[in-house]
């Protein structure tokens, strides 16, 4: 199953792996009968066993008489199934969400858990992605970010210094030309689902928007007329015009075909994930830790400072129809307990939301990523509504195919964003 995928997130359309199972009578909330039902898309995965065992053991200490049932749903149907449950007002007591628009768009069906999780606020990071109007609706399990990975072996073959990747966009484009001459593409890109632009926007945002524009974007004050916002989409288009991407990007699935292209040496770079899939642990297995690099995005706008974009990745929330919100919130806390998240990190290769976990033995790439968290910023695409994200995905495909202009793209996105 690890070779099929969502994120996410992804991401927020798909940042995570596809699960197993289907909606059934077992998805009905039964907390009044001493049972809690959990929906997710992870519990059917082999790597989740130890994590769930730790979480269940922690919960049993608090509520020995309450049974917990996990129903793993297929991710490609997850939010459709969840939408039907929300519409009917019946469903699981606890449910998994991607952080950002997916959970914020559904808070009317959730219980605010701000007070229940107060003791976890310092230990866990990534809360903002599960918060709306200062109320917390979910607890983060992972942190999800968008580092740029590169293959040091391809750099050497292209005559580039693997220890010094380009720091400016112009130099990066020139390096990509050298990579092409050596027989590889610059980027492994899968944009069949329209997810690639999400990674691009967030990865390139800190080096294209000014600090003030970036902060305003996150708080909802987005200026779509800014030349720098336009420049983000121009550089995206440039990668297509200059054939920097792997062939057939719009017909290639990101999960996991584009990541497979990077792992097999067909491309020097990939905008990947921090957790779950398309990430450091999976790439280490194919390239070896010594050949896997993580680079900062190359500066597009002079005076900008590169930063790692990340947010809470996946997490758990409590349905408003559950019979006892406190008991359900206790289960959420167990699913984000220290021992459970240590197991998730170890087995799934996720950067867990628990900031106390030591990742020093995970290899140089993971260590580099974690070292950049302190200066990291929220991912730009996570601040957008799911409706605008879907539109951006479709428009990104048209940009790569040359059937739309950048001006028309930002015009349509502005209208969608302002419509709410």
Cα dihedral 109, 111, 112, 115, rounded to 10, equals -170
Tokens 């900008």 belong to which residue?
A: 304
Clarify whether residues 214 and 283 are in a common domain.
yes
Run means of pLDDT, 10 residues per run, the chain, 420 residues: 34 34 45 84 95 98 97 95 96 96 95 98 94 97 96 98 98 98 98 96 98 97 98 98 98 96 98 92 95 98 97 96 97 98 93 93 93 93 93 98 98 96
pLDDT of 33:
66
Clarify whether residues 400 and 258 are in a common domain.
yes
Report if residue 15 sits inside a domain.
no
Clarify whether residues 159 and 285 are in a common domain.
yes
- Does residue 309 contact residue 145 with C-beta atoms inside 8 Å? yes
Clarify whether residues 245 and 392 are in a common domain.
yes
Q: What CATH code is carried by the domain that includes residue 233?
A: 3.40.190.10
Clarify whether residues 55 and 93 are in a common domain.
yes
Report if residue 346 sits inside a domain.
yes
Clarify whether residues 54 and 195 are in a common domain.
no
Global pTM reads 0.83
Clarify whether residues 302 and 337 are in a common domain.
no
Token pair listed for 174: 């020139």
Clarify whether residues 224 and 293 are in a common domain.
yes
Clarify whether residues 231 and 335 are in a common domain.
no
Q: What is the span of the domain harbouring residue 44? A: 35-143+312-353
Token pair listed for 22: 């289907």
Report if residue 138 sits inside a domain.
yes
DSSP annotation of 116: T
pLDDT of 13:
35
Domain count, the chain: 2
Give the Cβ contact number of residue 124 at 10 Å. 23
Token pair listed for 293: 């690099």
Clarify whether residues 186 and 239 are in a common domain.
yes
Clarify whether residues 153 and 272 are in a common domain.
yes
Clarify whether residues 257 and 299 are in a common domain.
yes
Report if residue 25 sits inside a domain.
no
């Amino acid at each position: 199953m690890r070779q099929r995928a969502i994120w996410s997130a992804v991401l927020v359309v798909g940042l995570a792996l596809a699960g197993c199972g289907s909606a059934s009578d077992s998805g009905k909330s039964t907390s009044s009968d001493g049972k809690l039902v959990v929906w997710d898309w992870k519990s059917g995965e082999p790597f989740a066993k130890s994590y769930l065992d730790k979480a269940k053991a922690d919960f049993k200490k608090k509520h020995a008489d309450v049974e917990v049932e996990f129903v793993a749903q297929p991710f490609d149907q997850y939010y459709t199934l969840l939408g039907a449950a929300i519409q009917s007002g019946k469903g699981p007591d606890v449910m998994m969400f991607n952080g950002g628009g997916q959970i914020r768009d559904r808070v009317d069906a959730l219980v605010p858990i701000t007070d229940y999780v107060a003791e976890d606020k310092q230990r866990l990071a990534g809360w903002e992605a599960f918060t709306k109007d200062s109320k917390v609706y979910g607890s983060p399990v992972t942190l999800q970010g968008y580092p740029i990975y590169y293959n040091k072996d391809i750099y050497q073959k292209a005559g580039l210094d693997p220890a010094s990747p380009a720091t400016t966009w112009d130099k990066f484009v020139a390096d990509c030309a050298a990579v092409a001459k050596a027989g590889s593409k610059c980027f492994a890109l899968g944009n069949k689902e329209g997810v690639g632009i999400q990674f691009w926007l967030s990865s390139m945002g800190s080096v294209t928007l000014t600090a003030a524009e970036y902060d305003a974007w996150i708080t909802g004050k987005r200026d779509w007329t800014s030349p720098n916002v336009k420049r983000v989409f121009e550089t995206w288009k440039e990668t297509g015009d200059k054939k920097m991407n792997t062939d057939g990007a719009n017909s290639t699935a990101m999960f996991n075909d584009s990541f497979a292209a990077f792992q097999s040496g067909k491309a020097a770079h990939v905008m990947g994930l921090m957790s779950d899939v398309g990430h450091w642990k999976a790439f280490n297995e194919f390239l070896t830790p010594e050949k896997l690099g993580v680079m900062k995005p190359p500066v597009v706008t002079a005076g900008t400072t590169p930063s790692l974009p990340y947010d809470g990745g996946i997490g758990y929330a409590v349905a408003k129809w559950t019979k006892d919100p406190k008991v359900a919130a206790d289960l959420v806390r167990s699913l984000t307990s220290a021992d459970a998240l240590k197991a998730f990190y170890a087995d799934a290769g996720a950067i867990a939301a628990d900031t106390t976990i030591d990742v020093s033995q995970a290899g140089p790439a993971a260590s580099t990523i974690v070292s950049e968290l302190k200066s990291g910023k929220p991912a730009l695409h996570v601040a957008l509504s799911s409706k605008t994200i879907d539109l951006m995905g479709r428009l990104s495909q048209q940009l790569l195919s040359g059937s739309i202009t950048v001006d028309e793209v930002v015009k349509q996105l502005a209208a969608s964003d302002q419509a709410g």
